[in-house]
Amino acid sequence: MIQYFVCKDSRDNKSYIILYMFSSKSSFTFEILCRLPTGANENLFDSKYS
């Protein structure tokens, strides 16, 4: 199951959408799938990951 959250990078002061997926059976380990700037096309984001 792919989930995402938005965070702000203090280095360039931009917000990013972080896509991540829990791996194995532990909910504490996850792998980041990609890092999208929030200025990206949200329709594309929704259709691809929802």
Tens-digit pLDDT profile for residues 3-44: 777 777 777 777 777 777 766 666 555 555 556 665 544 444
pTM of the full predicted structure?
A: 0.36
Contact 18, 6 (CB under 8 A): yes
- Residue 32's identity, in one-letter code, is I
pLDDT of residue 43: 47
Contact 24, 37 (CB under 8 A): no
Residue 49: which of 20, 8, 15, 23 has the closest Cα? Answer: 20
Question: What ranges do the domains of the chain cover?
Answer: 2-49
